[in-house]
Amino acid sequence: MKTIGIIFFFIFLVLQANACSCSKVNIKDSFNGANLIFTGKVIKVDKIQTTDTIGIGQDGKVYTEEYIRIKFTFLISELIKGNFEENEVIITTTGGGADCGNYFELGSSHLVYSYLTDRKVNFNLGKQKVAPFYTTSLCTRTKDLKVTQPTEIQRLKYIAKRRNSR
């Protein structure tokens, strides 16, 4: 029985080591860190399962990993920051969990702080470069519009206006 307890303890430690950990970020710093900030509604969700090579062992064996990334298409209601001409934007994440990806329900509306990256969205493959895309994470202030304080959006607009007037 003691062995089972020890096994569960180690499993707990491993899960905690891989858990998403974020520090609280204020509105101004979040504004500065984002390339594109908008409010919008999720109009399409595409789940993509991929297998990628993560390395070649000393024995010559190729090691692969399967992972999921999700492309969320948003219809932009209001663009707050960014040079973006389209009325739709695709935000790609891992969909949540220990790697800090977001998941958005089809039809839901959000305030989204997103940024451009050219790194693969995956724990083990994050050093591999790809064509730039927009992403977000649980560590940004991205949230459902139902729980977004109107003062946050007002503050963002104020910061954007001040930056544009310089």
Q: Which single residue is written with the structure tokens 């096994």? A: 7
Whole-angstrom Cα distance, residue 49 to residue 68? 4
Residue type, 105: E
pLDDT at 10: 36
Is residue 149 assigned to a domain?
A: yes
> Coil, strand, or helix at residue 149?
coil
pLDDT in tens, 30-66: 999 999 999 999 999 999 888 877 778 888 888 887 7
Q: Residue 126: which domain range? A: 24-164
Is residue 7 assigned to a domain?
A: no
The count of other CB atoms within 10 Å of the CB of residue 108 is 15
DSSP structural state of residue 96: S
Is residue 4 assigned to a domain?
A: no
Which helix (H) or strand (E) element contains residue 39? Answer: strand 36-56
pLDDT at 97: 66
Is residue 63 assigned to a domain?
A: yes
Side-chain half-sphere CA neighbours of 129 within 13 A = 1
pLDDT at 159: 94
Q: Domain count for the chain, please give it.
A: 1
Whole-angstrom Cα distance, residue 33 to residue 76? 20
pLDDT at 89: 97
pLDDT at 19: 57
The stretches of 19-164 forming alpha helices (DSSP H) are 27-33, 150-164
Reading the block at residue 145, the tokens are 């519009």
Series of mean pLDDT values for 10-residue runs along the chain (166 residues): 40 43 84 95 93 80 83 97 93 79 93 90 64 89 94 95 80
Per DSSP, what are the bridge partners of residue 89? Answer: 74
Backbone angles phi and psi of 105, in degrees to 5: -75, 140
Is residue 16 assigned to a domain?
A: no
Burial class (CB in 10 A: 0-12, 13-18, 19+), 148: middle
pLDDT at 129: 79
Is residue 157 assigned to a domain?
A: yes
CATH code of residue 60: 2.40.50.120
Is residue 59 assigned to a domain?
A: yes
Is residue 15 assigned to a domain?
A: no
> Coil, strand, or helix at residue 128?
coil
